Every structure is written in C-alpha cells, then in structure tokens.
C-alpha cells in the first residue's frame, strides 16, 4: 500500500495504490487524518485507480474521512475506481455521501 498526496486545481489528491484491507486501513487512516487536520483542504479527492483489492475496511476508511472532512468544512470525492471497486462502492450506498467519478 502506498499513499501520495498532491495538489491539483485547489483540491488535495490522495493517490492510493495497492490493497486496502484491515491491515493497511489503519495506516491510511492515520496519514489521511493527519493531512486533513493540518491542511484543511476544501476537497479531498481519493484516487483509487491504483487499488487492486478493497474490502469493507476501505468503505469504513472513506466514511470516516468523509465525516472528518465535513467537520473541517470540506468534502470528499472518489476518483477512478476499478470497475469491481466501483461496484463495491455502489453496493455499499456510499454514493449518497460522496461523489464518485
């Protein structure tokens, strides 16, 4: 699992690659929370194009960051999920909370 955060057109882009499961979600959560609290971006776009596997821990990760971003006055969007990950996201109903592009 790798995380790289860049800035693009006023949004923070979190590029995540590898797998998101209960082993990797904790480190991602810590790193993303630290960034959100320190930088307070208006938009945090989570780029999932490099994710090869994601279980329910990924859904929890996104939902928790969505709540934190809302508390900080911002919002989350999900970018470029693989087709099977997009399906998992849709089945979870997370589209009601975040925009998926």
pLDDT of the residue at 6: 94
Angstrom distance (rounded) from CA 2 to CA 77? 19
Domains delineated in the chain: 2-100 (3.30.750.24)
Angstrom distance (rounded) from CA 101 to CA 84? 14
The structure tokens listed for 13 are 């882009």
pTM metric for this prediction: 0.92
Confidence of residue 96 (pLDDT cuts 50, 70, 90): very high
pLDDT tens-digit map of 13-38: 999 999 999 999 999 999 999 999 99
pLDDT tens-digit map of 55-74: 999 999 999 999 999 999 99
């Amino acid at each position: 699992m790798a995380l790289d955060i860049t800035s693009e057109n006023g949004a923070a882009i979190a590029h995540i690659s590898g797998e998101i499961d209960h082993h990797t979600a904790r480190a991602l959560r810590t790193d993303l929370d630290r960034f959100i609290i320190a930088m307070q971006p208006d938009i945090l776009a989570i780029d999932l194009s490099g994710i090869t596997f994601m279980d329910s821990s990924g859904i929890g990760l996104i939902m928790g960051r969505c709540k934190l971003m809302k508390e900080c006055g911002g919002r989350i969007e999900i970018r470029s999920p693989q087709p099977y990950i997009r399906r998992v996201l849709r089945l979870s109903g997370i589209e009601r909370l975040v925009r998926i592009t």
